[in-house]
């Protein structure tokens, strides 16, 4: 029987739940006019799934969207060629004259392509000259030039915080802010998993993108919505899970959407393999135990990349969450002086390994937390 839970791809359609109000708000913003949005929050909270649903809504409303995953673009040369190609293919009018592209992109070479179906297309390659501010501005202006007087479009930058590595000294941010602030036909969505870095990019008054977009925090969904989702997913596949057991599942993994999908998937698999119709609390516990050990090698490799102070802080938080790292807490776990703890905390938060939840510092991944408890 097909498993009704999905954690390997974006959760869309009937596997997407809650977020109705924020989805409606975002759609309204982009339909009513220019609005740039930063969607931030801890990893695994469903940002990418929400944006995937929003893109579907916008496309149905006749607003074309382009999505670019910056983490897959390690150089400025690759960025300009990839961005120009994606934007041109999605936003250029059907009858766009090929010769006009030379007026828009003087720093790139157009290249005819042939896909597996035999259909021709157009892509772009950087010229031999180094990519500087002028060439980058030219590429970033392409969406506005293609859409000027011809409707609206939306550009989605996933893992946007990674642009900091494309040019030194915030160079990319400065050029991009200067370019897009004059765009009237294009709106932008910025999101990323290293949300502390992303948030600073848009809220630090010393950064180029300061106050250039509406910042929206994506928090955990209401527990009631998560429990209902679990019950309904089991029912959609002809099986049952009672409310108490569903609550147990949601609580086990801190009501984090991605892990609800993952633990739900494993619990359903156990029930289905046993050819039973109903899930039991023991099935949830067995699934949780299996998943806690499933990523052991990955967690061990991660620990090898951390400093001693970072490891000690993670283990301490796995055993005892706290709202502050006072003298007693530091002594109890031999964490050292406050400056050492603060440095470790800052790095772990920047990398998304710990976060603030309900006023306390916690390990972000509940299965990693369980692994650390066993250390």
* pLDDT digit string, tens, across residues 169-195: 889 999 999 999 999 999 999 998 888
110 has pLDDT over 70: no
Averaged confidence pLDDT in the chain: 89
DSSP assigned state of 275:
T
Average pLDDT over residues 234-259: 96
Place of tokens 């899930």: 279
- Residues 254 and 220: their CA atoms lie apart, in Å, by 9
Contact 321, 362 (CB under 8 A): yes
Q: Which residue has the higher pLDDT, 31 or 244?
A: 244
Lowest mean pLDDT among 54-68, 117-131, 340-354: 117-131
- Residues 200 and 197: their CA atoms lie apart, in Å, by 5
- Residues 143 and 154: their CA atoms lie apart, in Å, by 9
The pTM score is 0.84
Task: Tell me the pLDDT band of 85, cut-offs 50, 70 and 90.
Answer: confident
- Residues 122 and 68: their CA atoms lie apart, in Å, by 17
Average pLDDT over residues 258-276: 96
- Residues 51 and 37: their CA atoms lie apart, in Å, by 11
Q: In which residue ranges of the chain is CATH 1.10.8.60 found?
A: 223-294
**% of the chain at pLDDT higher than 70:** 90
**Is CATH 1.10.8.60 what the domain over 223-294 is classified as, yes or no?**
yes
Task: Tell me the pLDDT band of 129, cut-offs 50, 70 and 90.
Answer: low
Give me the CATH code for the 19-217 domain, please.
3.40.50.300
**Nearest residue to 37 via CA among 137, 154, 126:** 154
Average pLDDT over residues 99-123: 60
- Residues 284 and 263: their CA atoms lie apart, in Å, by 8
For 206-221, write each residue's pLDDT tens digit.
999 998 999 998 889 9
Q: In which residue ranges of the chain is CATH 1.10.10.10 found?
A: 297-373
Task: Tell me the pLDDT band of 8, cut-offs 50, 70 and 90.
Answer: confident
Average pLDDT over residues 101-105: 60
Q: Which residue has the higher pLDDT, 89 or 264?
A: 264
Task: Tell me the pLDDT band of 103, cut-offs 50, 70 and 90.
Answer: low
Q: In which residue ranges of the chain is CATH 3.40.50.300 found?
A: 19-217
Q: Which CATH architecture has domain 297-373?
A: Orthogonal Bundle (1.10)
Contact 263, 233 (CB under 8 A): no
140 has pLDDT over 60: yes
Check residue 33 and give left, alpha or beta (phi > 0: left; psi -120 to 50: alpha): left
100 has pLDDT over 70: no
Contact 91, 129 (CB under 8 A): no
For 306-337, write each residue's pLDDT tens digit.
999 999 999 999 999 999 999 999 999 999 99
Length of the chain: 375
**% of the chain at pLDDT higher than 90:** 64
- Residues 30 and 51: their CA atoms lie apart, in Å, by 12
The pLDDT of residue 83 = 93
């Amino acid at each position: 029987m097909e498993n009704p839970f999905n954690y390997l791809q974006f959760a869309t359609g009937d596997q997407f739940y809650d977020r109705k109000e924020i989805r409606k708000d975002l759609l309204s913003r982009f339909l009513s006019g220019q609005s740039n949005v930063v969607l931030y929050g801890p990893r695994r909270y469903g940002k990418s799934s929400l944006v995937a649903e929003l893109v579907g809504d916008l496309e149905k409303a006749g607003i074309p969207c382009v999505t670019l995953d910056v983490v897959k673009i390690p150089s400025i040369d690759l960025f300009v060629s990839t961005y120009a190609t994606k934007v041109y293919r999605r936003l250029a009018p059907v009858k766009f004259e090929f010769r006009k592209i030379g007026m828009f992109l003087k720093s790139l070479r157009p290249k005819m392509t042939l896909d597996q179906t035999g259909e021709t297309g157009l892509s772009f390659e950087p010229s031999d000259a180094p990519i500087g501010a002028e060439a980058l501005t030219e590429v970033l202006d392409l969406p506005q030039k293609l859409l000027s007087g011809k409707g609206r479009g939306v550009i989605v930058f996933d893992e946007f915080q990674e642009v900091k590595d494309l040019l030194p000294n915030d160079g990319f941010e400065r050029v991009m802010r200067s370019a897009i602030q004059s765009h009237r036909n294009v709106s932008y969505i910025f999101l990323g998993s290293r949300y502390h870095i992303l948030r600073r990019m848009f809220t630090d008054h010393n950064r180029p993108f300061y106050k250039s977009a509406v910042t929206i925090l994506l928090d955990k969904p209401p527990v009631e919505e998560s429990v209902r989702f679990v019950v309904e997913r089991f029912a959609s596949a002809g099986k049952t899970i009672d409310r108490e057991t569903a609550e147990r599942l949601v609580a086990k993994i801190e009501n984090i959407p991605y892990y609800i999908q993952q633990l739900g998937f494993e619990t359903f698999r156990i029930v289905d393999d046993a050819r039973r119709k109903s899930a039991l609390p023991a099935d949830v516990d067995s699934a949780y135990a299996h998943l806690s050990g499933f990523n052991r090698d990955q967690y061990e490799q991660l620990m090898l990349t951390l400093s001693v102070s970072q490891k000690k802080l993670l283990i301490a938080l796995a055993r005892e969450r706290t709202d502050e790292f006072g003298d007693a807490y530091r002594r109890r776990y031999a964490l050292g002086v406050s400056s050492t703890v603060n440095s470790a905390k800052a790095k772990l938060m920047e990398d998304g390994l710990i976060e603030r939840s309900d006023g306390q510092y916690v390990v972000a991944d509940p299965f990693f937390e369980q692994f650390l408890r066993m250390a």
